[in-house]
A and B are shown apart, each in its own frame.
Chain A
Amino acid sequence: QQPVQSPQAVILREGEDAVINCSSSKALYSVHWYRQKHGEAPVFLMILLKGGEQKGHEKISASFNEKKQQSSLYLTASQLSYSGTYFCGTEVRMDSSYKLIFGSGTRLLVRP
């Protein structure tokens, strides 16, 4: 089941804050956040794990509410370089590894 991301798009002025949400109808093992710029590879930002462990980018924060099956990505004091499409991926276990089921993305545009 594909996670649902909101909002679908957001436009900010440089220095403003944004929150991107990701929710799932299934129990979550972990949530993975990526940013993708047009024509480029998705770039890893952060993993949030059950139990509160986080791994990722120093300047980006996120939360993971296991009970509500939701995660939120917080972008503070946005910079022009933050522009791109943000995807959350929820982990589905396979034998010996996992696959990611991605949401349809949140397009973020930061203007000067």
Chain B
Amino acid sequence: DTGVSQDPRHKITKRGQNVTFRCDPISEHNRLYWYRQTLGQGPEFLTYFQNEAQLEKSRLLSDRFSAERPKGSFSTLEIQRTEQGDSAMYLCASSFPGTGSTDTQYFGPGTRLTVL
């Protein structure tokens, strides 16, 4: 499978615990995005990396959230001191700049987080 992969697919944690998710983009895709999706809503943008540089962060990304992309390959999203409001599907997408004016973002299957 050469698509975007995410691990774990499901995570259940207790309030106050830290969690970390991993995303492996499509090989050679240098752009990587994190989105969050709650029930009945479309994905909401969280943050964006080009290679290893984090170039954009949403106001949704509080101080408890941190994302990294060491060496410009896989990325991790960590949530510290989880709260029940963090319960959501966390989606990762990747893209490669084409010759046109825009490129296609391909999504992974997501990590579903449940905070008890």
Contact = CB atoms under 8 A, between A and B. Distances in A.
Interface string A28-65: 01101010000011111001011001010000000000
Interface string B82-116: 00000000010001010011111111111000000
Interface string A72-99: 0000000000000001010100111111
Contact of B108 (A41, A89, A94, A97): A41
Most buried by A among B48, B95, B108: B48
A18 interface: no
Interface of A: prevailing SS: strand
Given A42-B91, A49-B101, A103-B42, A96 B55 contact: yes
Question: Contact residue range for chain B?
Answer: 20 to 34
Contacts of A100: 43, 45, 105
Interface string B8-24: 00000000000000000
A73 to B, nearest CB: 14
Nearest to B41: A104
Interface of A: 2, 29-30, 32, 34, 40-44, 47, 49-50, 53, 55, 87, 89, 91, 94-105
Q: Sorted from nearest, which 6 A-B pairs have the closest CB atoms?
A: A102-B42, A99-B45, A41-B107, A41-B109, A42-B107, A87-B42
